A and B are shown apart, each in its own frame.
Chain A
Amino acid sequence: MSSQSPPSPPSRELSRFAVSPARKRKDRLARGVVLACTVLALIPLLLIVYYLLRKGLSSWSISFFTTDPTGNTFFKSSSIGGIKSAILGTIEIVALASLIAVPTGVAIAVWLVEYGKSSWFASLVRFFVDVLTGVPSILFGLFIYIVLIIGTGSTYAAYKGSLALSLLMLPVVIRSAEVILLLVPGALRESALALGAPRWRVIFSVVLPTALPGMVTGVLLAIARAAGETAPLLFTAAATLKTNFNLGQFMNSLPVQIYSDVTSPTTAVVNRAWGAALTLVVMILLLNLIARLVSRRSRLA
């Protein structure tokens, strides 16, 4: 085991198994390429975080979070207001969207895995879910706009934005939940069934609790994606300045606020966009942390 031990005859024996220089070179090259790719992928990520922090932090202040935007963009930077309505609006809209998409999506995934399996209808559902995953987010907004705004002759409302977002979340929730449910060992289902449990009980008491930590990750991914979407909200929930708790009315949201602020000619307003962007990232990060803690605890219990 020590470095000085081998006497001369065994060392000749060892050389039969020594790595050839060519293999060593190839190995080093391959490792180098893989490492370079990793670094390359990290660079934009780090730059995003760096710029967000540098530009966003400077606009953060107490009043940034506690006041609504004034809509007054051509005067002093002190009068433009904060992003309170956008933060609360995003929370409300995304919460409603999750309330719609998560139970529906999990139910569809349960059906696909436990009942539909490889039937033609299940395959059809899977195909459409895949198609839905690839639909550009603006189309969900357009769809809701045509059906619920033009179609009903009414106007923008927060809940219509939530519906658009829930359509966007649905395929992500279904696909991730399905993958996780498929990972639950068949032996667990079998042993529960063999105990004389009805199938619905097997699903609720054994399959879903086992899959829970994994499903939380998929749900978070969907929420994070929805929370950052501008396009589905632009012509469904629209935008407004005031904080609003009525989901039937216009509602502000962070992505829409960022979108409108960043096109402003006023520096202070553009800076507010950076602050709002940083807020959005931090909110999603916090959500991630909380959900992870909750799911970890529930697994042990």
Chain B
Amino acid sequence: MTADGPISETAEVEPEELVGKDAPAQPHFRPTRADEPLTPAPAPAGAAAAEARLGVSVKLEKLRAFYGAAEQVKGIDLDFNANEVTAIIGPSGCGKSTMVRCINRMHEEIPGAHAEGRVLLDGHDVYDASVDVVAVRRAIGMVFQKPNPFPTMSVYDNVAAGLRLSSRGRGDLHVKVEAALRSAGLWDEVSDRLTEPGAGLSGGQQQRLCIARSLAVEPEVILMDEPCSALDPIATLKIEELIDQLKRRVTIVIVTHNMQQAARVADRTAFMLGGELVEVGATQEIFTNPSDPRTEEYVTGKFG
């Protein structure tokens, strides 16, 4: 269940080719991939390598985010490599969540909020005037701090909702729902209670249900905004194991308050302070040998 090095190594190479190949000025985010099976049939090659790699790179260029006139994110340049887990750490109010919410353009849903700069998803700027924000959000899944399954829907419908709401419900809905639940490591626990309300599951199961819901849409990137802060250690461990498996398929950005969590799950870690990016690098590096004294103070617990 733990990450094996080679996978993340190879992952760094592949996206570069992808960007090159798929980079034409079409800002629609791969509508063709909608019909790809979520979990492809066992491919000829080795087990792990056979999984579809939907993950793409995300690149922030001079990203600034505002609430009204207040600038919360003050010009960030940051790369998220494809099929890697990048953790964002930093004290409360440093703009971690705001920055992440800019990536799938959820930030602008808050009245009076807007963002400036560029967010390149696989080379396409999601803030380009021609971009359909709905298509962006289909390509970028999001898991929130508190598990929030739709209260009126059953376990099954919650996962199917991802497909139905984005008009991808045609065809093999059952197959897709089961595949998403399996990918979220939830199938064995809920296969006999698919018709029960999603809100009846435990907190950890609900959060994995939310992960399954976003996986069903087959995103290329998943943003996780403190996904474990409302969960107990056992449920947290399950989510972390899940993250480790999911990065083979998607690019993951995880905001966390928990530095041990960042150290456990992330390939790279970025440290933010006061709306600015202080430092980003390999997780090992950030925690053992940071180049900025503020990073060192934060990771050693001197403040924050």
- A: residues with CB less than 8 A from B are 117-118, 185, 187-198, 201-202, 205-206, 209-210, 212, 299-300
Which single member of A189, A198, A202, A210 contacts B152 (CB below 8 Å)? A210
Chain B positions 205 through 229: 1 when the CB is less than 8 Å from some CB of chain A, otherwise 0: 0000010011001000000000000
| 13 additional contacts (CB under 8 A) given A196-B135, A210-B152 | A194-B104, A194-B137, A194-B144, A195-B166, A195-B217, A196-B134, A197-B134, A201-B165, A206-B150, A209-B152, A210-B150, A299-B152, A300-B197
B142 and A197 within 8 A (CB): no
Some 24 contacts from A to B, beta carbons below 8 A apart, are A185-B148, A189-B109, A190-B106, A190-B109, A190-B142, A191-B144, A191-B150, A191-B210, A192-B165, A193-B106, A193-B137, A194-B106, A194-B142, A195-B137, A195-B141, A195-B166, A195-B213, A196-B134, A197-B134, A201-B165, A201-B167, A202-B165, A205-B165, A212-B152
Q: Is B30 an interface residue (CB 8 A)?
A: no
Q: Tell me how far the C-beta of A206 lies from the nearest C-beta in chain B, rounded to whole angstroms.
A: 6
Complex Cα spacing A187 to B111, Å: 15
Chain B's closest residue to A204 (CB) is B165
A117 and B111 within 8 A (CB): yes
Which B residues touch A209, using CB under 8 A? 152
Interface residues of B in 135-172 (CB under 8 A from A): 135-142, 144, 146, 148, 150-152, 161-162, 164-167
Complex Cα spacing A197 to B109, Å: 13
Q: Tell me how far the C-beta of B148 lies from the nearest C-beta in chain A, rounded to whole angstroms.
A: 5
Per DSSP, chain A at the interface is: helix
Q: Tell me how far the C-beta of B234 lies from the nearest C-beta in chain A, rounded to whole angstroms.
A: 24
B109 and A198 within 8 A (CB): no
Complex Cα spacing A299 to B135, Å: 31
B106 and A195 within 8 A (CB): no
Which A residues touch B161, using CB under 8 A? 192, 195, 205-206
Chain B positions 165 through 193: 1 when the CB is less than 8 Å from some CB of chain A, otherwise 0: 11100000000000000000000000000
Complex Cα spacing A192 to B109, Å: 12
Chain A's closest residue to B154 (CB) is A301
B152 and A196 within 8 A (CB): no
Q: Tell me how far the C-beta of B160 lies from the nearest C-beta in chain A, rounded to whole angstroms.
A: 11
A195 and B111 within 8 A (CB): no
Which single member of A187, A196, A210, A212 contacts B165 (CB below 8 Å)? A196
Chain B positions 232 through 255: 1 when the CB is less than 8 Å from some CB of chain A, otherwise 0: 000000000000000000000000
Known: A196-B217, A197-B166, A201-B165. A188 touches B109 (CB 8 A): no
A195 and B214 within 8 A (CB): yes
A187 and B109 within 8 A (CB): no
Chain A's closest residue to B152 (CB) is A209
A196 and B146 within 8 A (CB): no
Which A residues touch B146, using CB under 8 A? 187
Which B residues touch A193, using CB under 8 A? 106, 109, 137
Which B residues touch A212, using CB under 8 A? 152
Which B residues touch A189, using CB under 8 A? 109
Which single member of B151, B165, B197 contacts A195 (CB below 8 Å)? B165
Q: Tell me how far the C-beta of A227 lies from the nearest C-beta in chain B, rounded to whole angstroms.
A: 29
Q: Which of B139, B148, B210, B214 has the most CB of A within 10 A?
A: B148
Known: A196-B134, A196-B217. A188 touches B148 (CB 8 A): yes
A196 and B137 within 8 A (CB): yes
B150 and A187 within 8 A (CB): no
Which single member of B136, B144, B166, B197 contacts A190 (CB below 8 Å)? B144
Q: Tell me how far the C-beta of B32 lies from the nearest C-beta in chain A, rounded to whole angstroms.
A: 16
Complex Cα spacing A118 to B112, Å: 11
Known: A195-B137, A300-B197. A205 touches B144 (CB 8 A): no
Which A residues touch B217, using CB under 8 A? 195-196
Complex Cα spacing A196 to B106, Å: 11
Which B residues touch A117, using CB under 8 A? 111
For the complex of A and B, the 7 pairs showing the least CB-CB separation, nearest first, are A196-B138, A197-B165, A194-B142, A196-B137, A196-B166, A209-B152, A187-B148
Known: A196-B137, A198-B134. A191 touches B142 (CB 8 A): yes
Which A residues touch B162, using CB under 8 A? 195
Which B residues touch A300, using CB under 8 A? 197
Which B residues touch A188, using CB under 8 A? 148, 150-151
Complex Cα spacing A188 to B144, Å: 10
Chain B positions 106 through 135: 1 when the CB is less than 8 Å from some CB of chain A, otherwise 0: 100101000000000000000000000011
Q: Which of A187, A196, A202, A205 has the most CB of B within 10 A?
A: A196
Q: Tell me how far the C-beta of B223 lies from the nearest C-beta in chain A, rounded to whole angstroms.
A: 8
Q: Tell me how far the C-beta of A193 lies from the nearest C-beta in chain B, rounded to whole angstroms.
A: 6
Complex Cα spacing A217 to B293, Å: 59
Complex Cα spacing A192 to B163, Å: 11
Which A residues touch B150, using CB under 8 A? 188, 191-192, 206, 210
Chain B's closest residue to A299 (CB) is B152
Complex Cα spacing A185 to B152, Å: 13
Chain A's closest residue to B145 (CB) is A187
Complex Cα spacing A202 to B166, Å: 10
Complex Cα spacing A193 to B211, Å: 15
Q: Which of A118, A194, A195, A201 has the most CB of B within 10 A?
A: A194
Q: Which of A118, A191, A206, A300 has the most CB of B within 10 A?
A: A191
